[in-house]
Structure 1
Amino acid sequence: MTGLFPRPRAVVAPGAVHVPDWLPVERQRELVAACREWARGPVPLRHTALPGGGVMSVRSVCLGWHWQPYRYSRTADDVNGAPVAPFPAWLGELGRAAVAEAYGQDGPVRSYAPDTALINFYDDTARMGMHQDREERSGAPVVSLSIGDTCVFRFGNTQDRGRPWTDVELASGDLFVFGGPSRFAFHGVPRIRPGTGGPGTGMSGGRLNLTLRETGLGGVRPA
């Protein structure tokens, strides 16, 4: 557990499940090491440029498919044109275990086949505005894994960026899965709590967030 008291799992909204302390610290440390390797390339960790001229405060790297606002491609055309790093099979297995943990073995676990990961690194000042994950052609759940500093994760409604929303604290090792009626809910990260991550992960500060998704694109390169 994190802190002095256990944090119970919670259904934040229909189809949206928070499981605290799901990743043991040894697995967190393995994921941190893997993320460091992915961040070195072939497409390096970068701040994503937005179509309106802004730049995201988080730094990102992708596996399987490269995400750029607001589409997927096999090459990082907005960075260096390199092919994106492959999505490893073991990460897909971790995603299926996460879905089973959230929804039970009778849920969509057997058919869950994530083929892309978006890895975001937040420093103390990074934020993520309210948005929907809508570029996928699949309605399969999104799996979110948190490592490092705690964040305030704002989980909203499916209609717009405004209220109602629920603020959830995601600590190192926490799992958050959203699918079903909540698959296209707006969500964001308004705050990072610096210095809250434990040293056992191998991180000296900041927050890593890995989100696993099914693109529904198969072998087709999107236009």
Structure 2
Amino acid sequence: MRYAIYYTPPFDDPLTRLGSQWLGRDAFSGKEINQPALEEISRERLSALTPFPRRYGFHGTMKAPFALAEGRSEDELRDAFAEFCERMPAFDLPGLAVTRLGSFLALTPSAPIEALDVFAATCVETFDAFRAPLSDADRERRLSSGLSDRQAGYLLRWGYPYVFDEFRFHMTLSSRLEDEREAECLKRDAMRYFAAVTERPRPFATLALFVERERGGPFTILDLRPLKAGASRVEAQQETVNV
């Protein structure tokens, strides 16, 4: 059994609905859902290009998957997660954009944001006490994937290579894309599909605790909580409009 701390909006947020349908699975219920009909990529091909992110659910990584350290319990983790959300303030993202991130497609912030980097680093440090050491197999698998010296050092210390100055927030939309032409077609489809929720400020106001009950199985949401209120101007404006 493993846990992860991910950003995802509430289940009824338009971004969540679009992201879950794009991947073909709802991480709240764990149910598979029909993927959208796109202009350039067939529904069958979209399914073949998204098995990796579909398993993890629509999310942005804050604390990468980890097994519980010896002597720690799920109840303790859930209590610590609730306390973390109560004290960490919400903030605004400048907007999300569909991006080619190496060989993957992802939603990434349209501009750098220090509050997001600080939040992610704090999350990594806070929950590391709950993380069991990596298994030899996981450590060797990661080390053999071409990490830099800095990334390898982070892996050995924090269990994940892409933390602190190596962190880049992203919400993964594809598995590895091998065909350049197909990757560009998928990107154009994604830009059209997510147009209603991209390139505009949005609140970063919730955090989720995910669980993988069996190794290699799907991740589902165990708990989703709001962050400390009062720091997100976008959320406040949305609430004002809805009054």
Highest CA radius of gyration, 1 or 2? 2
Same fold (TM over 0.5): no
What TM-score do you get using the length of structure 1 for normalisation?
Answer: 0.26
Q: Which structure has the higher relative contact order (CA within 8 Å, separation 6+)?
A: 2
